[in-house]
């Protein structure tokens, strides 16, 4: 800090002024930063009425030190009744000038000053009067706090607004007719500064026709908190630290839906979600949102294991070869009212579950169930990004699995791709059941590609066992490849830079 209490500042230095919000009453709602600054300050200042009891100091007391200088700033008046020659405003302005001068003396001496403020310093707070008089003269920082409006909403358990609604904050000192007009035309409102203004405020709610849904909160979040319908409040019991809330009609409590059922949207739906190839950071925010909203997760077991466990959700893992059965199960669950997410690795539309779900969903029995597909980063994209830009020009994506299509068709397509000089991304390159097929596929490609053609093999990219190999068509050993790999075979225009990065030029020769 700039100095300790009672010590002079170094030449040319001053203390720092802090306006610190304390929140509405509960000392545990004081922010970490506010607590730190209060504990470290040389001087702590706070306002109080003539009785000398400061609400702000009471909230901050757990964070104060015994050796700190305390500046009690006592208001000379709390109502407009005064014999000051300048009237109420003259008396209060004189008080603020004198209080600012007292704090300035500490700042000039190099002492840091924290001015405590209930709620937020810039939200109907007394601190702002010190700020206007001192902030242009001294280094100043304002620390926001939880407002009484936020505390009151939490106290009554009612959201104030939703979607594009408007919240209006009004002072209870406003003319009653004007206040009633505001209340009649806004979605939601908070009326501050009650106390002696309460009878007029209650009347304004009644004139606006909204008294029946208005709520009253007194000393929100403190151990003296009181809440009840505004219409039932005794005006003689209302303190200054209270407010009236008008929550939006849209936030009225409703009947909770049955556990595990979807809201009534008119259409059942299955969401097919792509996790990306491995890293959690490669899952899109849209996919993460859909996974979080689901009641049920359906998918291949190892893919489901990549989704963080949530005890609220039910999981249905299954083997990788029962895609149609898995899709039908997901659609049945959605038709029964569950929020269902079908989980795929990579992108669900690339050799994954989206096509399987849509194929089964086309059956008449699922005519009332919609399917939404959320994209993910593909394995081809992930491997390519790790080595540079081998997919920088036209490319083809193929699977070497012959479970759902004949091997002869795969060979024919490989010949056409090779003749077209396309970069080739091979999924499912080599399994235990068909260890010979990758070698045969490479022989077909070699009919059209030279031995120097660049080849990239990516294993478990984005996962803990990630491994990347840049080699050539002549040197690639099929025995080093398995189902956890993706193979990229370059075109005649794919190159390796001196630094080892791979790219395929976007410019074709002669263009």
Task: State the Cα torsion 443-446-448-451 to the nearest 10°.
Answer: 180
Confidence of residue 508 (pLDDT cuts 50, 70, 90): confident
Contact present, 220 and 155 (Cβ < 8 Å): yes
The lowest-confidence range among 136-140, 216-220, 248-252, 455-459 is 248-252
Among residues 85, 87, 88, 52, the alpha carbon closest in space to that of 70 is found at 52
Among residues 15, 38, 39, the alpha carbon closest in space to that of 102 is found at 15
Phi, psi angles (nearest 5°) of residue 353: -80, -15
Confidence of residue 9 (pLDDT cuts 50, 70, 90): very low
Tokens 């595990």, residue located = 260
Tokens 């008046």, residue located = 77
Among residues 164, 154, 219, 221, the alpha carbon closest in space to that of 187 is found at 164
> How do residues 198-250 score in pLDDT, each as one tens digit?
999 999 999 999 999 999 999 999 999 999 999 999 999 999 889 999 998 77
Cα separation, 421 vs 66, whole angstroms: 81
Supply 455's token pair: 């080849």
Tokens 């100095």, residue located = 3
Task: State the Cα torsion 257-258-260-263 to the nearest 10°.
Answer: -30
The residue-averaged pLDDT of 339-357 equals 93
pLDDT higher than threshold 70 for residue 10: no
The residue-averaged pLDDT of 129-135 equals 96
pLDDT higher than threshold 70 for residue 172: yes
pLDDT higher than threshold 50 for residue 8: no
Residues 6+ apart with CB under 8 A from 10: 3, 110
> How do residues 372-405 score in pLDDT, each as one tens digit?
999 999 999 999 999 999 999 999 999 999 888 9
Q: Is 496 exposed, middle or buried (0-12, 13-18, 19+ CB in 10 A)?
A: middle
Query: HSE of 334 in the Cβ direction (CA atoms, 13 Å)?
Result: 30
Cα separation, 173 vs 148, whole angstroms: 17
Cα separation, 441 vs 169, whole angstroms: 71
Confidence of residue 162 (pLDDT cuts 50, 70, 90): confident
> CA 193 → CA 148, 239, 247, 327, distances in Å?
11, 9, 18, 59
Strands 242-246 and 215-218: antiparallel
Among residues 153, 148, 240, 160, the alpha carbon closest in space to that of 196 is found at 240
Per-residue DSSP letter, 281: G
Cα separation, 268 vs 259, whole angstroms: 16
Supply 12's token pair: 């040319």
Q: Tell me, what's the pLDDT at 85?
A: 66
Query: HSE of 172 in the Cβ direction (CA atoms, 13 Å)?
Result: 24
> How do residues 56-115 score in pLDDT, each as one tens digit?
999 999 999 999 999 999 988 655 456 666 667 778 899 999 999 999 999 999 999 999
Cα separation, 119 vs 114, whole angstroms: 15
Among residues 366, 357, 372, 284, the alpha carbon closest in space to that of 323 is found at 357
pLDDT higher than threshold 50 for residue 351: yes
Instruction: Check the CA dihedral 331-335-336-340 and report its sign.
Output: positive
Q: What is the mean pLDDT of the chain?
A: 89
Q: Tell me, what's the pLDDT at 431?
A: 84
Cα separation, 176 vs 207, whole angstroms: 9
Element (DSSP H or E) covering residue 228: strand 226-229
Q: Tell me, what's the pLDDT at 86?
A: 65
Contact present, 200 and 244 (Cβ < 8 Å): no
pLDDT higher than threshold 90 for residue 463: no
Instruction: Check the CA dihedral 34-36-39-43 and report its sign.
Output: negative
Supply 57's token pair: 């100091």
Task: State the Cα torsion 52-56-61-63 to the nearest 10°.
Answer: -150
In the chain, what are the domains?
A: 17-145 (3.40.1010.10), 149-251 (3.30.950.10), 268-374 (3.40.1010.10), 381-504 (3.30.950.10)
Q: Tell me, what's the pLDDT at 255?
A: 37
Cα separation, 276 vs 299, whole angstroms: 14
End-to-end CA distance of the chain: 67
Supply 334's token pair: 């959605």
Query: In this structure, how many other beta carbons lie within 10 angstroms of the beta carbon of residue 34?
Result: 24
pTM over 0.85: no
Among residues 420, 478, 468, 298, the alpha carbon closest in space to that of 371 is found at 298
Considering the chain, what percentage of its residues have pLDDT values greater than 70? Answer: 92
DSSP 134-171: HTTTS-EEEE----HHHHHHHHHT-----TT--EEEEE
Q: Tell me, what's the pLDDT at 6?
A: 40
């Amino acid at each position: 800090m700039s100095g300790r209490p009672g010590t002079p500042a170094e030449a040319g230095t001053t203390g720092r002024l802090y306006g610190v919000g304390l929140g509405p009453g509960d000392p545990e709602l004081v922010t970490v930063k506010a607590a730190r600054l209060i504990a470290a300050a040389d001087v702590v200042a706070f306002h109080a009425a003539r009785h000398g009891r400061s609400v702000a100091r009471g909230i901050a007391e757990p964070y104060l030190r015994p050796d700190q200088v305390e500046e009690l700033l006592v208001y000379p008046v709390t109502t407009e009744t005064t014999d000051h020659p300048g009237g109420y405003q003259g008396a209060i302005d004189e008080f603020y000038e004198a209080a600012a001068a007292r704090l300035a003396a500490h700042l000039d001496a190099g002492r840091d000053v924290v001015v405590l403020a209930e709620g937020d310093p810039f939200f109907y707070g007394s601190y702002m009067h010190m700020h206007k008089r001192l902030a242009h003269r001294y280094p100043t920082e304002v620390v926001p706090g939880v407002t009484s409006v936020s505390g009151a909403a939490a106290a009554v358990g009612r959201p104030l607004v939703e979607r594009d609604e408007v919240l209006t904050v009004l002072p209870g000192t406003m003319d009653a007719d004007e206040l009633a007009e505001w209340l009649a035309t806004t979605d939601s409102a908070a009326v501050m500064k009650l106390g002696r203004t309460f009878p007029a405020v209650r009347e304004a709610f009644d004139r606006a026709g909204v008294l029946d849904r208005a709520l009253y909160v007194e000393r929100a979040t403190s151990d003296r908190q009181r809440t009840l319908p505004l219409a039932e409040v005794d005006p003689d019991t209302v303190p200054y630290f209270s407010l009236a809330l008008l929550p939006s009609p849209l936030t009225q409590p409703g009947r909770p839906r049955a556990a595990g059922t979807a809201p009534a949207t008119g259409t059942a739906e299955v969401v097919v979600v792509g996790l990306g190839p491995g890293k959690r950071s490669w899952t899109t925010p849209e996919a993460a949102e859909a996974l979080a909203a689901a009641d049920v997760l359906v998918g291949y077991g190892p893919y489901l294991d990549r989704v963080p466990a949530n005890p609220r959700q039910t999981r249905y893992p299954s083997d990788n070869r029962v895609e149609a059965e898995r899709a039908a199960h997901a659609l049945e669950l959605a038709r029964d009212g569950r929020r269902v997410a079908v989980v795929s690795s990579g992108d669900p539309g690339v050799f994954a579950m989206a096509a399987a779900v849509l194929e089964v969903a086309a059956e008449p029995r699922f005519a009332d169930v919609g399917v939404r597909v959320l994209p993910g980063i593909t394995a081809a994209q992930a491997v390519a990004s790790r080595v540079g830009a081998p997919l920088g020009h036209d490319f083809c994506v193929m699977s070497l699995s012959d479970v759902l299509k004949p091997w002869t068709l795969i060979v024919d397509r490989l010949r056409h791709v090779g003749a077209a000089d396309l970069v080739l991304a091979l999924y499912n390159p080599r399994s235990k059941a068909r260890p010979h097929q990758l070698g045969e596929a490479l022989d077909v490609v070699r009919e059209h590609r030279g031995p120097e053609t660049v080849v990239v093999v990516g294993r478990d990219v984005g996962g803990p066992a990630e491994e990347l190999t840049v080699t050539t068509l002549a040197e690639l050993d099929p025995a080093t490849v398995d189902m956890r790999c993706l193979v990229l075979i370059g075109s005649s225009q794919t190159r390796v830079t001196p630094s080892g990065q791979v790219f395929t030029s976007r410019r074709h020769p002669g263009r």
